[in-house]
Structures are given as structure tokens and as C-alpha cells.
Amino acid sequence: MLVMGVDPGLTRCGIGVVIGTPGRAELVSAGVIRTSADLDIARRLLQIELGLEEWIAAHHPDAIAVERVFAQHNVTTVIGTAQAAGVALLVAARHGIPATQHTPSEVKAAISGSGRADKAQVGLMVARILKLESAPKPADAADAVALAICHAWRGAAAARLAEAADRGSPRPTTWSQVIAARSVS
């Protein structure tokens, strides 16, 4: 599964693309979409949209993982981050690409084993998982890569369960049913 992770932000919107399956991941590309604080919000959001369109055109992801915005102390930052996340979800929908939001603690737990890992631990684990000498830079790109890895590892199983439900199969309720559903697809 080719997954594009989006760490939303107005100044730096992190983007990471990985190809992965549960337990395995390989980096395809990582970077950021930058906007100037001198521009009005509408222009900044437009630049993010255009940047996302370029990334999608270049990589054709199967899925997009966006960080779920959570309340912080700085309301202005939260609003801008939420707007950037909304643009990412909109662009995904426009292209018919499934988009999923993951919480920061979910991503941290998937990458490091602890939902309370700090940025340095997540960056170290991203580098280790991808067999890189160091995590992608800047940190927004590394966070986006972590999102993509999280989705490749967790989202694949969720997608199989959703497909089983769509085929009219009863939803698995035990681990043995989940394993059986995996062997069918």
C-alpha cells in the first residue's frame, strides 16, 4: 500500500510517502509544503492545496493519512492546523483517495510502542524502521512519514475489515475471526 502522510500546518505542512504493509515500510519521499506568514489565510490554504495536488500527481497514493488535530493551548495554531487538515481531506476526496485521521498518540504508539513518545523518539524510530541514518528533515516531514507508516501498518488491517463488511460478511468480533478474514482476502 502506498500511503501519503500529511502533518498539517500553515507554515510547514509535512508530507511523507511510504510503501508498506504491516511490519514493513520503505520511504518513497518526504518534504514540506511551505507558506509565508505574510500571506492571508486564503492564499496560504491555496498554496497547501496546490502542493498537495503536486504530491498526489507525483506519487498516486492508495491512501492518505492526516494527523487529527487536537486542542492545544494556542487556539490560533489549532485553527490554522485544522484548516490545513481540512484542505488535505478535501484534496483526498476530490481524487477519490481514502483519507483517515490518526491521533498523535496513535501514531507514536504505532511507531515507538508508546503513545507518550517525544518527537526525538519518534524520529529515531522512523529512521530505524526505514533503515535510514537519520530521520527525514525537518521534523514536520518526519512526523508525516510516521503518519504514513502508522496507516500502512494499522490502516491495512482496518481496510480488510471494511472490505469484509462490504462483501456482506459479518464483522469479525474475535481475533480468530480477524485472522480468518485476512486469509480470505
Q: Which residues, in sequence order, are CB contacts of 158 under 8 Å at separation 6+? A: 100
Active-site residue, selected from the candidate residues 38, 54, 118, 140: 140
Residue 79, CA distances (Å) to 35, 39, 41 in order: 16, 16, 11
- Cα angle: 32, vertex 35, 40; to 5 degrees: 155
**pTM above threshold 0.75:** yes
Domains of the chain: 2-156 (3.30.420.10)
Q: Alpha helix locations (H) across 7-155?
A: 41-59, 75-94, 104-112, 119-130, 139-150
Supply 90's cell numbers: 478535501
pLDDT at site 93: 97
Let me know if 140 is a catalytic residue: yes
DSSP 49-84: HHHHHHHHHHH--SEEEEEPP---S-HHHHHHHHHH
Asked if 165 and 177 count as a contact pair (C-beta separation under 8 A), the reply is: no
Taking residues 160-176, what's their average pLDDT?
A: 59
76-90 pLDDT per residue, tens: 789 999 999 999 999
Nearest to 123 by CA among 151, 143, 152, 147: 143
47-97 pLDDT per residue, tens: 999 999 999 999 999 999 999 987 667 787 899 999 999 999 999 999 999
pLDDT at site 146: 98
Let me know if 62 is a catalytic residue: no
Active-site residue, selected from the candidate residues 7, 38, 40, 166: 7
Is residue 158 pLDDT above 70, yes or no?
no
Taking residues 24-34, what's their average pLDDT?
A: 97
Let me know if 38 is a catalytic residue: no
Q: Which residues, in sequence order, are CB contacts of 167 under 8 Å at separation 6+? A: none
